[in-house]
Chain A
Amino acid sequence: MSAVLEVHNVWKRYPGDPPVESLRDVSLTIREGELVAIVGPSGSGKTTLLHVMGTLDRPTQGEVCVAGQDASEFSDLELSGLRAHHLGFVFQQFFLLDGVSVLDNVANGLLYRGLPLRERRRRAREALERVGLGHRTGHRPNQLSGGERQRVAIGRAVVGSPAIVLADEPTGNLDTAAGAAVVALLRDLNRDGTTIAVITHNHDVAAAMRRRIELRDGRIVGDSGVGT
């Protein structure tokens, strides 16, 4: 299996007195088809790691390779292209656009690839079927439950078949049942071939993933290794 995301000796320092080191010499490789949990208490640098992995933030030191491309020297434009074509994001707060239908929210996952609207909507309909919301396409996000909204957001992340989906506390705003449904959906998507990395401090969520990487004080302190 080829690596879809590689992090090599990444440091992230925020200037200050004393400087804050969010990530200290972090290295990890995620291969195609993996379902990874990155766990750690709050303040352990999880979100920083996700931002660095997702090219939303540049490391102070070290390299990040996404889909075989070294993002270190990329311009803002090239990084945007990387995100548009190879990365999918799921956030704790869903971040759906309220004024736009569920279908178009998902179709927005392809907005910055320059595909025609008709094609984006066709693929969005497919993605909504995959997340079990094929019957909700015409609704507005604020007409949906929290669990459904997160599934819409997951649909938006996978609509472009990215190399990897990065999920930041996807169950953080959901009750236990809805959270479990989201975890089950992530597992299903992974079984169908989507590479997923979930950041969480919830050990039940982490336990449902096939590989667990433990983060503490900006360092990797445990890695269950590549799961099957």
Chain B
Amino acid sequence: MSGQLINQIFLQVMTGLQLGAIYVLIALGLTLIFGTLGVVNFAHGALYMLGAYLAVNIANSIGFGWAIVVVPFVLFAFGIAMERGLIRFFYNRPHTDQILVTFGLAIVIQEVLKWIFGANNLPFSMPSWGSGIVRMHEWVPFLEGFVAYPKWRLILIAVSFATVFGVFALLQFTRFGLIIRAGMRDPDMMKFLGVNISRRFTIVFGLGALIAGIAGIFGGPVTQVDPEVGMHMLVPSFLVVVIGGMGSIPGAVLAGFLLGMALSFTAEYAAIQQIIIYLVAVVVLLVRPRGLFGQKGLME
């Protein structure tokens, strides 16, 4: 392989990872919430947006470092409040009602943000420790010549991987995670065993919101912060969850990064680029409705 070609593929892979990173984080939260509570949260994009707006305001006033500390907690609390205050009344209602109420919430959040901050985007610049380029050719052995990549986007990829790993570790290696995994399989059994599964699930909802908040902090400077960004990120994220398999975490992660790769490698073919995700989603849903890693029979 020529050095040029390796460079090119490397760059496109990096861009693919970085594009997928945000979708992975949002899809992760969506699939966690669906896998545990069975709720399709149409307001999840709005949670991402809330995270981004909070982050930009904190960063511009007291500093970016504070944003990283504060936003996840605020979003976690908001998620819990949302579940306890609104969503839990809808468990016994038809699925369409759940979709409707979260859709309504998404619109309300969007409009409130528009009201407070205006319809234009808030400039969100990277902190000084995160800006600039990384001379990739100094780190990666097989690259030739001058290959640079923006530092912030590398940070985004790292954060995404770290979060995924964190969630995985939580689920695999902790008692809490064990209960959650069991509850995803059979929530009624857990109740019979005397485990307060609904309290655990509330925490999962908060966790999903927290992850969306993290995505907002690190993705905000990349996607820009405006009232439309919530819905803009939600539709592809939904499709990522569907392609990966509803309720499957490895599925969401894999599908998210695959989407990023698809977008990156088709960048030059504008026509296909725009519709590729929809085509893939439709094909997957028709051929293998449970998605890549979904459980058979669940939501078919």
A in complex with B: no
Residues of A near any B CB (own CB < 8 A): none
